[in-house]
Structure 1
Amino acid sequence: MANDLDAHAKPPAKLREVYKEYQKLKPAALTNRPDLIQFDEDTSPSNDQVLVAKGTQLPQELRQIFLDFLSERPEHLEDIMPVRLDQSPIYQVPNLPGLLIYPSLLQPQLQLSLLDRLLHRDISNTAHKTNVHLHHHVPYPEASGTGVPGLRASYFAPTSSDLLFTPKDPALHKPLTTSQFLQKKLRWCTLGGQYDWTAKQYPSDAPPPFPPDLKDLIERIFPMKAEAAILNLYSPGDTLSLHRDVSEECAAPLVSISLGCDAVFICGLERADGEAEVAVMRLRSGDAVLMSGESRYAWHGVPKIVEGTCLKEMEEWPGEEFDEWRGWMRGKRLNLNVRQMFA
């Protein structure tokens, strides 16, 4: 652990109060909340709780970074970066030093490419564990006719529909079908360093490699090394309780990228007098948040997923090729939280 913070400690009372308030709030009430940080289509903030982060900017070669990540060059370059860098400001939250917001960082084509890799490729990788591994024997779909050793098919592929996830203890858990796995049971997947959510620590053995294309994308944009990540999957009604990420052996920033439906994100720091500084923001698909400096160890959580807000271009994912699952993303939110494990 990078410091003496307790991963099992309870969050400050003020943060718990704000969290519960937003958890109970109806989605329609979010529109006029004066304390909620929101960004419109041109990435202008809804209130004065955030300021442009002076001295912090996106890399000049951002368009090339995006082109290198995509497997196919877009027909129109504005599809991946429609504005100039000076028109894409990064925002800071002054009362939470080091908390930076990158509204609309990833345009739809990049989001879809990232989504394909995470859900078709990375959750089918035997090195990446999920919450379902805790209580079930997880079968993996086999790809046929690819000629690539070790390459696996997607769980969304028709050939994966008859997989059965058998319980480790039949007295406690029931078998799962692929449909049950994808619709509701799959809640998280770890990439790279395989974080143990129960013990709140990383295993002592060497971690599996982080997906190289994701690693390249993250490290060329953000001031950190991509060594471990947790992919969280949400449906409306799901939440993520307030917590701090304190198990890494360094204080390097962590970055969070949102895909799919909107989410309410709460972040806060406890002051010396026992009170807390709190920021509440609405994160949309393509937004990124960087937690650095003092905010690296801030309390944070997700009290609400906003139903019916999925990015239009993402609503039909995974599309015609996977017709049985067409429209799966319409009611989902994914969050890719990437960390550096070692100094």
Structure 2
Amino acid sequence: MRKADLESDSDVFDLSKRDQFTSEQKDLWRSAGAIPASRIEAACQVYAGGQPLSSPAVDAPIFEHRDFPGLQVVCGLLPPETQVLFTSCLMHRDLADPSHKINLQADFDIRYPPKSSSEPLRFDNSFFLRDRSAAEDVLVPKVPDKQKPLNNEQFLYTKLRWLTLGEQYDWPTRSYAKHATPFPGDLSILVTGLFPHIHPESGVVLIYGAKDFMPVHRDVSEQCQRALASFSVGCDGIFIMAKGEDDGEGENAPRTVAIRVRSGDCVHLTGDARWAWHAMARTIPSTCPPFLANWPVGTPGATAAEEKAFKKWRGYMGTKRINVSCRQVWD
């Protein structure tokens, strides 16, 4: 489907425009309250090391689908400057920490940046401080006959798919290893500040390019019954959820819903929605908001030398969508 066609497709719900919905559509997507501006401001200020927001936050409305109990969308939850800091923490600091696994570690030897300074919110240990194609930064394949070396541009633009945070499910043992890798403390504070009922211990950062998608799947490995918070920054995406059986009837009849998720939105899943089939069907190119599109240019706290290095990567987030699912592992 073309980008222009998405704007008029009544089967794709853009909850940022709920005031334009028909009465039937509004009955499908019902108000489930809001996260108050005061809570958002407090959580974001702590996340930013005590720095208050430059502009007042607004209440973030929550909408829940009538036919998918537990599927909630929180519109515009993260303020713009928090989105920039959120992206910087993930893609500078956490990506440069080898204890957080990425999809390329099994196949390539990766020369990670040196450890950061001890100063909080200083992003001086980033892959984005390197040149795009310097020979000394090449990712070397562990089996040269099967893989070609990757320069930094190929790594960050086309091959990087995911990054783990905190404890991760081990498929061979079908269990989580307790306290294997700590979940980022500041992100934990942000999530719990916004959703006091969630104490995140595990997360997955998915990095989507213009043609990337996540196929239909279910979170069947989960042990904890707590809710999940899934944050989006960057370009818009189409999130799909489905339930029922192909030949089912009544409550078991097949149902599907498609949602346009925008930068700063959060999908909150609880109850039956935690175990439903879902997918990220596509990323919509050229929809990243202007305040984030030039990132890593604009990284908070960057020195003049760092900003000069970041300019070589100007526009990276304008081509990307990042989704971060934060979950509690242990009840």
What's the TM-score, normalizing by structure 1?
Answer: 0.82
Is 1:186 paired with 2:142?
A: no
**Residue matched to 1:282:** 260
SS in 1 for 2:232: strand
CA distance in 2, matches of 1:284, 1:31: 13
CA distance 1:192–1:52, change in 2 (3 Å)? same
SS in 1 for 2:164: strand
Number of positions where the alignment pairs a residue of Structure 1 with one of Structure 2: 307
Is 1:34 paired with 2:10?
A: yes
**Residue matched to 1:339:** 327
CA distance 1:195–1:137, change in 2 (3 Å)? farther
**Residue matched to 2:285:** 307
Bigger shift: 298-307 or 216-225?
Answer: 216-225
Which of 165, 177, 193 in structure 2 is aligned with 1:220? 193
CA distance in 1, matches of 2:5, 2:232: 22
CA distance 1:304–1:45, change in 2 (3 Å)? farther
| Pairing of 1:238-249 with structure 2 (within 5 A) | 238-249=212-223
**Residue matched to 2:109:** 137
Identity %: 32
Note the residue ranges of structure 1 that are not aligned, 5 or more in a row.
1-24
Is 1:99 paired with 2:75?
A: no
Matching residue's letter, 1:137: D
Shift of 1:76: 3.2
- What does the per-residue CA deviation read over 1:256-284, in whole Å, with 9 as the maximum and x for residues that have no partner? 10010000000122256463222110000
- Whether the 8 Å CA contact 2:141–2:147 is kept in 1: the answer is yes
SS in 1 for 2:294: coil
| Pairing of 1:218-297 with structure 2 (within 5 A) | 218-222=191-195, 223-270=197-244, 273=249, 275-297=253-275
- Whether the 8 Å CA contact 1:58–1:221 is kept in 2: the answer is no
Q: What's the C-alpha RMSD, in Å, of the aligned pairs?
A: 2.4
Matching residue's letter, 2:237: A
- Whether the 8 Å CA contact 2:138–2:151 is kept in 1: the answer is yes
- What does the per-residue CA deviation read over 1:77-123, in whole Å, with 9 as the maximum and x for residues that have no partner? 32xx1x2x3xx321101100011110111111010010000000001
Shift of 1:39: 2.8
CA distance in 2, matches of 1:300, 1:291: 11
Is 1:329 paired with 2:317?
A: yes
Matching residue's letter, 1:286: G
**Residue matched to 1:51:** 30
- Whether the 8 Å CA contact 1:248–1:342 is kept in 2: the answer is no
CA distance in 2, matches of 1:66, 1:75: 7
**Residue matched to 1:89:** 61
CA distance 1:179–1:311, change in 2 (3 Å)? same
CA distance 1:45–1:341, change in 2 (3 Å)? farther
CA distance in 1, matches of 2:29, 2:214: 24
Shift of 1:337: 0.8
Bigger shift: 105-114 or 132-141?
Answer: 132-141
**Residue matched to 2:300:** none
SS in 2 for 1:218: helix
Matching residue's letter, 1:221: L
Matching residue's letter, 1:305: T
Matching residue's letter, 2:313: W
Shift of 1:166: 1.4
- Whether the 8 Å CA contact 1:257–1:336 is kept in 2: the answer is yes
Bigger shift: 269-278 or 28-37?
Answer: 269-278
CA distance 1:37–1:117, change in 2 (3 Å)? same
CA distance in 2, matches of 1:101, 1:167: 41
CA distance in 1, matches of 2:35, 2:45: 19
- Whether the 8 Å CA contact 2:44–2:53 is kept in 1: the answer is no
- What does the per-residue CA deviation read over 1:113-150, in whole Å, with 9 as the maximum and x for residues that have no partner? 10000000001111100000121122201258x477xx
CA distance 1:176–1:318, change in 2 (3 Å)? same
Note the residue ranges of structure 2 that are not aligned, 5 or more in a row.
298-306
Shift of 1:309: 0.5
CA distance 1:257–1:114, change in 2 (3 Å)? same
